[in-house]
Structure 1
Amino acid sequence: MNGDSVLNRFPQLFGGLFALSAAIVIGSFIGAGAIREVKSANDVLTVTGSAKRPIRSDYIIWRASVSSQQPTLAAAYQETKRYNTRIQSYLKQKKVPSEAISFTSIETSSVPEILPNGRESGNTIAYRVIQRLEVRSDQVDQITALSRQANDLINEGIPLQSNPPEYLYTQLAKLRVEMLAEATKDAKARAEAIANSTGNRVGAIRNARTGVFQITPRYSTEVSDSGVYDTSSLEKDITAVVSVSFGME
């Protein structure tokens, strides 16, 4: 009876309590839905995809040099000039186009006299002249063979210093685009494998970040955070890596 009298005496209080309870229930429901929406919006899966292709270098640079040391600068220069004439004739015999061959400016230096105590006397006992040459070509096999036959000139008495060839690949710009697409497909396949195991589905790409390209000798395991560009090998592997974040459904 006392309870009835309270409700009768304070009907506004009952109405306010009911409204407050309803607001709490409705607010809780809306809040839970909002949390689910936020969770869904932030639910992403980040995976790394990669793609690898074998490539064969299509451009070669071969560098070499000759030098002469004589009592006079003129004599050293004349001897070096004679060496250059023979080298150019040899390259012509090997069917190397003249436009593929370049010679640098001649480098000269003096050779000082060294005293028994290891100090220089101030006198010059000889002069050294160096001439460097470079062959650039897309005829990779031809110039590779030529670099290995440099001892032909050495056997003639030409003091040729031959450097190992540098092998380049000129189609990298086009290949990078193709390989990034392949790496992204690989990332999606990995994401789908993970999502399927948890009963989810992979949605749209939220973010993608490309890594550095690794151009290494064939079958090499060498990697670097800053990327690798091998020029020592004719046959290479190129690897692209991409990190992709997918939305989850």
Structure 2
Amino acid sequence: MLPESNAPSPKLQFPQLFSGMLALAIALVGSAYLAGNALRSLRSNDNLTVIGSSTRPIRSDFVIWRSSVSSQQATLPLAYQELKRHSDKVQAYFKSKNIPKDAISLSAIDTQPIPETNGNGAQTGRTIAYRLVQRFEIRSKDIDAITAIARSSTDLINDGLPFISEPAEYLYTELGKLRVDMISEATKDAKARGEAIVNVSGSRLGTIRKAETDVFQITARYSTEVSNSGAYNTTTIDKDIRAVVAITFAVE
């Protein structure tokens, strides 16, 4: 059964100051500007909104690999017979690689009539051939094994099969357990940054008056990719997950 995608939830409303400026906002806290006159002018009963973030490395624990074979012949029976031979060879290959049968899903056969066209490119109403496609989907927690098999599947092409392998998709299924912890860490980071700011102004950080979370960013390891709608990288096994919060504190 395919796990929940854990794709980032729709973006919550985020203060305009931070929207679309995530990377810049994270870097701003340490800049000279934050130690300037704006900080020294903080007064009691002011509000201070601070960005906090938390980043963790994660390794994908689930892989989806899709592939297909096709056949094109003048009649449906001939196309089906050829497609079945191709499909049997692919399944025999999967079996030889010790892929469990329950990890393999076969789609319904996709049938595409090929119309005849005249010299002007207009269809004549006759069908000159049929193209059939059988798709396979493998879902597994054995990341390394399926990755290796996908890479070696060119053996099927070398055997003369019209085999198409799609890039594997790598997912992480334990995001729900991480989200709460990462929001907590990001909140602590925001508080530490806020205290650093008010200490320069001679004030004290008070209670939290407002807290908002931005969408999670799941990117390739060490990537600086950022998306306002949230990023979810599925092309790499090793990833980074980043949580960002905007915390508004009272200034005392």
Same fold at TM > 0.5: yes
Instruction: Give the aligned partner of residue 176 of structure 1.
Output: 179
Alpha-carbon distance in 2 for matches of 1:94, 1:222: 36
- Kindly name which structure, 1 or 2, has the bigger radius of gyration based on alpha carbons: 1
Report the alpha carbon displacement of residue 42 of structure 1 after superposing the two structures with TM: 3.6
Instruction: Give the aligned partner of residue 142 of structure 1.
Output: 145
Q: After the TM superposition, which of the residue ranges 113-122 and 70-79 deviates more from structure 2? A: 113-122
Q: 1:213 aligned to 2:216?
A: yes
In structure 1, what residue type is equivalent to 2:78? A
Report the alpha carbon displacement of residue 184 of structure 1 after superposing the two structures with TM: 0.4
Q: Which has the higher helix share?
A: 1
Alpha-carbon distance in 2 for matches of 1:136, 1:200: 56
User: What's the TM-score once normalised by structure 1's chain length?
Assistant: 0.82
Instruction: Give the aligned partner of residue 161 of structure 1.
Output: 164
Q: 1:232 aligned to 2:235?
A: yes
Aligned-partner SS, 1:143: helix
Alpha-carbon distance in 2 for matches of 1:90, 1:231: 25
Q: 1:106 aligned to 2:109?
A: yes
Instruction: Give the aligned partner of residue 69 of structure 1.
Output: 72
In structure 2, what residue type is equivalent to 1:55? I
Instruction: Give the aligned partner of residue 192 of structure 2.
Output: 189
Equivalent residues in 2 for 1:22-171 (5 A)? 42-171=45-174
Number of residue pairs aligned between Structure 1 and Structure 2: 211
Alpha-carbon distance in 1 for matches of 2:118, 2:220: 49
User: What's the TM-score once normalised by structure 2's chain length?
Assistant: 0.81
Displacement over 4 Å in runs of 4+ = none
Report the alpha carbon displacement of residue 189 of structure 1 after superposing the two structures with TM: 0.5
Report the alpha carbon displacement of residue 43 of structure 1 after superposing the two structures with TM: 2.0
Report the alpha carbon displacement of residue 44 of structure 1 after superposing the two structures with TM: 2.0
Aligned-partner SS, 2:227: coil
After superposition, give the CA deviation of every residue in 1:48-72 in whole Å (9 maximum; x if it has no partner).
0001111111110000111000111
C-alpha contact (below 8 Å) 2:44/2:203 kept by paired residues:
no
Alpha-carbon distance in 2 for matches of 1:244, 1:218: 27
In structure 2, what residue type is equivalent to 1:236? K
Alpha-carbon distance in 2 for matches of 1:48, 1:109: 53
In structure 2, what residue type is equivalent to 1:77? Y
The one of the two structures with greater contact order (alpha-carbon pairs below 8 A, sep at least 6) is 2
Alpha-carbon distance in 2 for matches of 1:46, 1:123: 69
Instruction: Give the aligned partner of residue 6 of structure 1.
Output: none
Report the alpha carbon displacement of residue 159 of structure 1 after superposing the two structures with TM: 0.7
Runs of 5+ unmatched residues, structure 1: 1-38
Alpha-carbon distance in 2 for matches of 1:42, 1:209: 20
- CA RMSD between the two structures: 1.4
Q: 1:246 aligned to 2:246?
A: no
Aligned-partner SS, 2:108: coil
Report the alpha carbon displacement of residue 41 of structure 1 after superposing the two structures with TM: 7.4
